[in-house]
Structure 1
Amino acid sequence: MTDTDPEALADRVRSGDLRLHELEAHADHDTAATARRLLLKDETDADLETVGAYAFDAEAADSAIENMIGAAQIPMGVVGPVSIDGGAAEGAYHLPLATTEGALLASVNRGLSVIESAGGAAARVTKTGMTRAPVFRVDGVVEAAETVEWVGKNLETLREAAESTTSHGELLDVEPYVVGDSVFLRFAYDTKDAMGMNMATIATGEACNVVEAETPASLVALSGNLCSDKKPAAINAVEGRGRSVTADVVIPGEIVEERLHTTADAIAEANTRKNLIGSAKAGSLGFNAHAANVVGAAFLATGQDEAQVVEGANTITTMDARPNEEGSSDLYASVSLASLEVGTVGGGTKLPTQSEALDVLGLRGGGDPAGSNADALAEVIAVGALAGELSLLAALASRHLASAHEDLGR
């Protein structure tokens, strides 16, 4: 029986007849969310009118959140268009970005405009592989070696087990790591157009059953943190995770001077001293100015897992002054994002607002061939990050950063 009165539903929670997470079993999703807002208003005096003014059916968010009360509305803007010569992204793209940081989109848009004036950027996904790394217990190094040897000889057996759980994912490789009586197996998957974390987890669980049955190893945890998901990790910087993607552009020296009010040499020096030397001294895993800004804003706009911005920020920015025939220098600029985890199907991409943002990119849903839409999204985000790096470094090199924020009232 469905209750259509949110106040009556709230009363049942107050009396202990229902628990907060059980409301959707007794009412439609919107009524359940309204009942929770009533309860919170009574207990906290918070006015949740704006939180409750969302524009989609709450049932659409059922797979994305529990105990829903409404929606957090973040301003969304757009930058571009910019021309991209990509392995999957080809043509002119607008990039939707959702953020609360004033001046960010203005800065990225300036960078994209300069890139467009230079003829556009190139971008390529250089490696693909969503990872999950379970940890097993063994008696000692002898059993560890036995387990590693078996895994090396039976990759096809593990592939068959893992791929039996998915119609799309493909097991690419299993890399073993031994630490005393712990054995880690880092499974890597091609998850096509899905970001694929859930797919990789389920598939790896099935493969672990085979490892336990055929070796001395006993599974301790399906994730042993060598994956490494949602944490800063050198292994992701070196081996990659999700998609490794690079974007670059050569900007003629006259455009650098006219549009960015500085020189290629000044930008290259700022990048070396700030992004490379400064980051090294800080012990940073990312050697960039603010790649996380664009990655995070793009993730929120297009329905990616926002916690994986920590891996997306694992970016190296390079800037190089290249002598030209006019006696000055052109600017070569690149960003390399080692572990950008994105998808165009599943998860938050199904939410209405995020689906519309993917429509702006022309990348909603599965691509043809499979995986091409997610590749293209990674390449567009990389070009956006490149524009952000270019604009910020130019502002620093020309000493215009503070005045730009002042002019925009931020």
Structure 2
Amino acid sequence: MDEKKIEELVSKVVKGEIKFHEVEKYTDGDSEVATEVRRRALERLTGAKLEHLGKYTIDANRAMDKNIENMIGAVQVPVGIAGPLLVHGEYAEGEYYVPLATTEGALVASVNRGCSTITDSGGAHVRIVRDGMTRAPVFKLPSARKALEFCEWVRKHFDDIKEVAESTTRHGELLDIQEFVVGRHVFLRFEFDTKDAMGMNMVTIATEEAVNWIEEKYPDAKCVSASGNVCVDKKPSWLNNVLGRGRTVVAEVEVPRDIVEEKLKTTPEAMAEVNYRKNLVGSAAAGNIGFNAHHANIVAAIFIATGQDEAHAVDGSTGYTTMEVTEDGDLYASVTIPSLNVGTVGGGTGVETQRECLEILGVAGGGNPPGVNAKEFAEVVAAAVLAGELSLVAALAAGHLGKAHRLLGR
């Protein structure tokens, strides 16, 4: 489109004659041009200079089709690399380089030190404890008695509901439906195996189809909302910590005393004490959900780098860190992440820069068989969180936290 036409469109947007979301109608569906029009119009409306937002390499047409509305450009977040990180999992095996997108100085350096510590100690052992993405519609029944009868009906018709739900997806598999009764309300927590996808869109579509069938077959049950917050999605929750959501992952390592002293500049005893008094007692005193030093730091940085739903960093923050001195005087450390919602297909994983970060890890796209890439990715994330916990707790035990930030000019 020529410059004159672009300027005409910009002027009409500024005047309010064309809304931001309507611009594509006047650019023959070309989101690259529409993005330019919206950005220029916004500059004139706000007085802001947006030269850097307009510099990007991702495909705006693809992004507008799958990931964003009213696009005006792209925000660039610095990406650093930590590793190699040696991981021994059921799906992840070998050394990994972990991309971290963050503007927090010292974070990558800290995680990198933890990776080195784990690798020199023989690697982190990681296992997936549970795997299932959830969606929980809420139904209103005539009474609490009717609510209990409805739950019994759902149990008897699980196979029928499963068939209906799975008709909407090639890969999703309904694993379970858990019932929660509050007065005359029934929350049905549908749990799916979503293979390599994080799966929220998949389970929402499948659950809505099942809800329509349930309402048709059981007229007394009225669905008030397709999501009743018992899912629980993008909110800290004890229910997710108890039952798990997405991938529940545990990672552990035993660090020899000499490595603790040489690399982490402290002792196993000092780290175990900091973990107890800070991560356990301090978290309990604060009423935290999750007892850890900074799981969210590592989860968020990896999520932004690899195109995960960044709001799920909330779920990833509610894990547990344990540290203790072994009989041999070494340090045993573990992290448990009850709700790690990750995928290697769908969502933001197809954005070009984010896909490249997944390629660094060797997990981009669908696995063979389906599901193995997302599981491998989840195991690596857990190991990276363990690296971050080791390094931060060590810095606190050694009294080096402020020194590290001053040294790196932060």
TM-score by structure 2 length?
0.97
Question: Could you say what secondary structure the match of 1:211 adopts?
Answer: helix
Name the counterpart of 2:341. Answer: 341
- For residue 40 of structure 2, the aligned residue among 35, 38, 41 is 38
Name the counterpart of 1:149. Answer: 152
Partners of 2:357 and 2:174 in 1: how far apart?
Answer: 30
- For residue 223 of structure 2, the aligned residue among 196, 219, 232 is 219
Name the counterpart of 1:273. Answer: 277
Partners of 2:385 and 2:197 in 1: how far apart?
Answer: 21
Partners of 2:243 and 2:151 in 1: how far apart?
Answer: 19
Per the TM alignment, residue 248 of structure 1 is displaced from its structure 2 partner at its CA by: 0.6
Question: Could you say what secondary structure the match of 2:175 adopts?
Answer: strand
Partners of 1:4 and 1:341 in 2: how far apart?
Answer: 46
Per the TM alignment, residue 311 of structure 1 is displaced from its structure 2 partner at its CA by: 0.2
Name the counterpart of 1:320. Answer: 324
Matched, 1:239 2:261: no
Partners of 1:124 and 1:91 in 2: how far apart?
Answer: 14
Amino acid across the alignment from 1:83: L
Per the TM alignment, residue 24 of structure 1 is displaced from its structure 2 partner at its CA by: 1.6
- For residue 60 of structure 1, the aligned residue among 54, 58, 62 is 62
Question: Could you say what secondary structure the match of 1:102 adopts?
Answer: coil
Name the counterpart of 1:173. Answer: 176
- For residue 114 of structure 1, the aligned residue among 93, 112, 117 is 117
Identity of aligned residues (%): 55
Judge conservation of contact 1:95–1:361 (CA < 8 Å) in 2.
yes
Partners of 1:256 and 1:307 in 2: how far apart?
Answer: 34
Amino acid across the alignment from 1:359: E
Mapping for residues 119-134 of structure 1, pairs under 5 Å: 119-134=122-137
Judge conservation of contact 1:13–1:20 (CA < 8 Å) in 2.
yes
Matched, 1:199 2:202: yes
Per the TM alignment, residue 45 of structure 1 is displaced from its structure 2 partner at its CA by: 1.0
Amino acid across the alignment from 1:406: R
Partners of 1:261 and 1:318 in 2: how far apart?
Answer: 19
Question: Could you say what secondary structure the match of 2:260 adopts?
Answer: helix
Per the TM alignment, residue 159 of structure 1 is displaced from its structure 2 partner at its CA by: 0.4
Name the counterpart of 2:402. Answer: 402
Per the TM alignment, residue 3 of structure 1 is displaced from its structure 2 partner at its CA by: 9.4
Once the two structures are superposed, what CA deviation does each residue of 1:13-61 show, in whole Å capped at 9, x if it has no partner?
2344422101122211111111111111111110100000111221121
Amino acid across the alignment from 1:360: I
Question: Could you say what secondary structure the match of 1:345 adopts?
Answer: coil
- For residue 52 of structure 2, the aligned residue among 50, 53, 67 is 50
Judge conservation of contact 2:145–2:184 (CA < 8 Å) in 1.
no
Once the two structures are superposed, what CA deviation does each residue of 1:184-235 show, in whole Å capped at 9, x if it has no partner?
0000000000000000000000111122122221000000000010111111
Partners of 1:274 and 1:214 in 2: how far apart?
Answer: 53
Judge conservation of contact 1:112–1:384 (CA < 8 Å) in 2.
yes
- For residue 29 of structure 1, the aligned residue among 14, 28, 31 is 31
Judge conservation of contact 2:251–2:334 (CA < 8 Å) in 1.
yes
Mapping for residues 247-258 of structure 1, pairs under 5 Å: 247-258=251-262
Per the TM alignment, residue 157 of structure 1 is displaced from its structure 2 partner at its CA by: 0.6
Amino acid across the alignment from 1:152: R
Question: Could you say what secondary structure the match of 2:134 adopts?
Answer: strand
Amino acid across the alignment from 1:122: H
- For residue 104 of structure 2, the aligned residue among 82, 101, 105 is 101
Amino acid across the alignment from 1:44: T
Judge conservation of contact 2:14–2:45 (CA < 8 Å) in 1.
no
Mapping for residues 358-377 of structure 1, pairs under 5 Å: 358-377=358-377
Judge conservation of contact 1:228–1:236 (CA < 8 Å) in 2.
yes
Partners of 1:146 and 1:6 in 2: how far apart?
Answer: 62
Judge conservation of contact 2:249–2:382 (CA < 8 Å) in 1.
yes
Change (3 A) 1:169 1:258: same
Amino acid across the alignment from 1:55: T
Partners of 2:212 and 2:4 in 1: how far apart?
Answer: 46
Amino acid across the alignment from 1:248: E
Amino acid across the alignment from 2:154: V
Per the TM alignment, residue 11 of structure 1 is displaced from its structure 2 partner at its CA by: 2.1
TM-score by structure 1 length?
0.97
Per the TM alignment, residue 2 of structure 1 is displaced from its structure 2 partner at its CA by: 10
Partners of 2:287 and 2:15 in 1: how far apart?
Answer: 54
Partners of 1:378 and 1:26 in 2: how far apart?
Answer: 43
- For residue 83 of structure 1, the aligned residue among 78, 83, 86 is 86
Q: Which runs of 4+ in 1 moved over 6 A?
A: 1-4
> Which shows bigger deviation, 381-390 or 207-216?
207-216
Partners of 2:364 and 2:3 in 1: how far apart?
Answer: 36
Partners of 1:33 and 1:42 in 2: how far apart?
Answer: 15
Amino acid across the alignment from 1:305: D
Judge conservation of contact 1:2–1:26 (CA < 8 Å) in 2.
no
Change (3 A) 1:3 1:144: farther
Judge conservation of contact 1:247–1:382 (CA < 8 Å) in 2.
yes
Amino acid across the alignment from 1:255: I
Partners of 2:19 and 2:307 in 1: how far apart?
Answer: 29
Q: Which runs of 5+ in 2 are unaligned?
A: none
Question: Could you say what secondary structure the match of 1:392 adopts?
Answer: helix
Name the counterpart of 1:208. Answer: 211
Once the two structures are superposed, what CA deviation does each residue of 1:161-205 show, in whole Å capped at 9, x if it has no partner?
100000000000000100001110000000000000000000000
Partners of 1:270 and 1:4 in 2: how far apart?
Answer: 65
Question: Could you say what secondary structure the match of 1:5 adopts?
Answer: helix
Question: Could you say what secondary structure the match of 1:177 adopts?
Answer: strand
- For residue 287 of structure 2, the aligned residue among 266, 275, 283 is 283
